Structure 1
Amino acid sequence: MNKYPAIHKAALQLKGATHDYKEEWTADRYFVGEKIFAMLGTNKEGRDILTVKVEPSQGEILRTENPAIIPGYHMNKSHWVSVLLDEEKNEEFLAKLLAHGYEQVLRKLPKYRQREIETM
């Protein structure tokens, strides 16, 4: 079972969100409309991280304000952030960050897909 049940639950509470586990990456991946909005795994040092899609200016602000937030690990650094979970434990903050990532991906989907997801 996932060692971060609150993160898992918060991600899957978002309308139309789905989850899989990618063995090769040892990562839990969260999707909306077949596109990833968040990933839970580890970095090369073995630290647990939550990587989330962000609006670029928001990512910059988050990295400036919170030392637990670093540029997205193995992702586009301006569109993704990674949260060091041993430093940031605020579940409410993490749930809001997941919702932000979800919205970033949802609004880029074709309008018909957005409508399908909104009416689920």
Structure 2
Amino acid sequence: MNGTTLHKTAAACAEELPGSELEHPFGPDWEVFKVRGKVFMLMTEVPGRPVVILKADPGEARALQEQYSHITPGYHMNKKHWITLEGGDGIDKELVRELVTESYRLVVAHLPKAQQPVDPHTYAYGTRASR
């Protein structure tokens, strides 16, 4: 998958998630997706290369980085809890959707129960919950 397709796929997935909002707090070059005011995905270009930055479980982040050369520690984020995804071989739409959804679930799980738009323990990509 190339970088343009990566951005389109990630944005489409994020927009479908309940309570997801797109903001540009760092200027027009950064697309920041939030749920209830908390960031779960950032998209930008790092010297001309489109990237998607996502929250990840630390153990899962390490495993993903070992498995995929196009997944690296989070750009300008906590390297333990965030990953950076670039387009390339082995990166497909299903993987992008899974990583975006997992990032969202991790953020939702830390919101107060009354603010959670979905139950993060049962929400999986493809389920349609009302926004």
Tell me the TM-score range normalised by the shorter chain: 0.7 to 0.9
Query: 1:58 & 1:33 partners in 2: Cα distance?
Result: 24
Kindly indicate whether residue 50 of structure 2 is the aligned counterpart of residue 34 of structure 1: no
Shift of 1:111: 1.1
Displacement of 1:23 in angstroms is: 4.9
Partners of 1:50 and 1:29 lie apart in 2 by 10
Match for residue 109 of structure 1? Answer: 111
Partner of 1:85: 87
Comparing 59-68 with 3-12, greater Cα deviation is found at 3-12
Q: CA RMSD in A?
A: 1.8
In terms of mean alpha carbon deviation, does 73-82 or 3-12 score higher?
3-12
Q: What is aligned with 2:63?
A: 61
Count of residue pairs the alignment pairs up: 115
Unaligned 5+ segments in structure 2 are 119-129
Point out where structure 1 has 5 or more consecutive residues left out of the alignment.
none
**Residue 104 of structure 1: how far off its partner (Å):** 0.6
Give the whole-Å Cα distance in 2 for the aligned partners of 1:96 and 1:62: 12
Counterpart code for 1:51 = I
After superposition, the C-alpha distances for 1:66-89 in whole angstroms (9 at most, x for unaligned) are: 000000000000000001124564
* Structure 2 CA distance for aligned equivalents of residues 25 and 72 of structure 1: 20
- Moved runs in structure 1, 4+ residues, more than 6 A? none
Q: CA deviation at 1:65?
A: 0.6
Confirm or deny: 8 A CA contact 2:53 2:82 kept in the other structure: yes
The sequence identity of aligned pairs, in percent, is 25
* One-letter amino acid of the structure 1 residue matched with residue 51 of structure 2: I
